[in-house]
C-alpha cells in the first residue's frame, strides 16, 4: 500500500473543517489527514481533531504558502509516496481525489493540478476572477512554454520527487501559480486533470477585489523573476 497524505491548510475554518475531514475519511479512508491550523483564532484545530485528523497548529499566521509548506515538510520527513493538497473551506470534492493521485501513482506525472477549466464543468466564477486566472495562465505559458488553464488551483497531488522541491522552495504568499514555474524548471512533469469544484461551504473568501489586483501584480512579478533563477536541483 502506498502512503498518501492529505494536507489541509485552514485559517478560521471551524464551520467547514469538520465536513472536509469527514468527507475525506468517508470517501478515501486510506488517506492520512493532516490539518495545518494557520494561527486560527477560532476552534478550527479542536474541530479537526474531533473528526479524527492530525493537527499541526502554527503559533502565528504564516499565510497559505507557509501553512502548505509545513505539510510538505511533514510529508517528506515521514516518507509519504503522495501528498495531496486540499482546501479547508470545502471547495475541493473528496470524490475527485482519485483523478489527481492516479497519474502520480502510475508514474504519468510528478504533480497533478485539479483544473476547473480544462473541460466544461459546473463551476461558476466571477468574470473578473476568470480573467485574472486567464492572464496568469498566459504569463506562465510565456515562461515555461506549456499551457495551464487553472494555475491558481490549490487542489494538487505531489510525488516524493516533487516534494523535495516544494518543501524547500515555496512562496509564502499566493504560491500556486509561481510553484508551477519552479516545478517545471526543475524538470518535473506537471499536468492538469479536469475536476469538479464547489463554492466554499460557508464564510467569505479572503481575496477581496483590491487583493485580487495586488495578487495579480505580485504573482505575475514573482513568475517573471522566478523564470530568471537557476534550477534548485542541478542536473
DSSP at 153: -
Query: At the fourth CATH level, which superfamily is domain 4-227?
Result: Spore Coat Polysaccharide Biosynthesis Protein SpsA; Chain A (3.90.550.10)
User: Model confidence over 56-86: pLDDT tens digits?
Assistant: 999 999 999 999 999 999 999 999 999 999 9
User: Model confidence over 49-62: pLDDT tens digits?
Assistant: 999 999 999 999 99
Residue 230 has pLDDT above 70, yes or no: no
Where is 5: in which H helix or E strand?
A: strand 4-10
Nearest of 154, 166, 12, 11 to residue 74 by alpha carbon: 166
| Segments in the chain forming alpha helices (H) | 17-27, 44-50, 63-77, 97-105, 127-144, 160-166, 176-185, 209-227
Rounded CA-CA distance 198/92 in Å is 7
User: Model confidence over 93-103: pLDDT tens digits?
Assistant: 999 999 999 99
Nearest of 176, 115, 171, 186 to residue 140 by alpha carbon: 176
Take residue 180 and report the three cell numbers written for it.
508551477
What is the average pLDDT score of the chain? 90
Take residue 103 and report the three cell numbers written for it.
497519474
Amino acid at each position: 500500500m502506498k502512503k498518501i497524505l492529505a494536507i489541509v491548510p485552514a485559517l478560521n475554518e471551524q464551520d467547514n473543517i469538520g465536513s472536509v475531514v469527514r468527507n475525506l475519511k468517508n470517501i478515501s479512508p486510506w488517506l492520512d489527514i493532516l490539518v495545518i491550523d494557520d494561527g486560527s483564532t477560532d476552534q478550527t484545530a479542536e474541530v479537526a481533531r474531533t473528526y479524527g485528523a492530525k493537527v499541526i497548529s502554527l503559533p502565528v499566521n504564516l499565510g497559505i504558502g507557509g501553512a502548505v509548506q509545513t505539510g510538505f515538510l511533514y510529508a517528506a520527513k515521514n516518507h509519504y509516496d503522495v501528498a495531496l493538497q486540499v482546501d479547508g473551506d470545502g471547495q475541493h470534492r473528496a470524490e475527485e481525489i482519485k483523478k489527481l493521485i492516479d497519474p502520480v501513482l502510475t508514474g504519468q506525472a510528478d504533480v497533478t493540478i485539479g483544473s476547473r477549466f480544462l473541460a466544461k464543468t459546473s463551476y461558476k466564477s466571477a468574470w473578473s476572477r476568470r480573467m485574472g486566472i486567464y492572464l496568469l495562465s498566459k504569463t506562465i505559458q510565456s515562461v515555461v512554454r506549456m499551457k495551464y488553464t487553472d494555475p491558481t488551483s490549490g487542489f494538487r497531488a505531489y510525488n516524493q520527487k516533487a516534494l523535495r522541491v516544494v518543501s524547500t522552495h515555496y512562496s509564502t504568499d499566493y504560491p500556486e501559480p509561481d510553484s508551477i514555474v519552479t516545478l517545471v524548471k526543475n524538470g518535473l512533469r506537471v499536468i492538469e486533470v479536469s475536476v469538479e469544484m464547489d463554492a466554499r461551504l460557508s464564510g467569505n473568501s479572503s481575496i477581496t477585489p483590491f487583493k485580487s489586483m495586488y495578487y495579480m501584480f505580485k504573482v505575475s512579478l514573482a513568475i517573471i523573476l522566478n523564470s530568471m533563477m537557476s534550477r534548485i536541483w542541478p542536473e
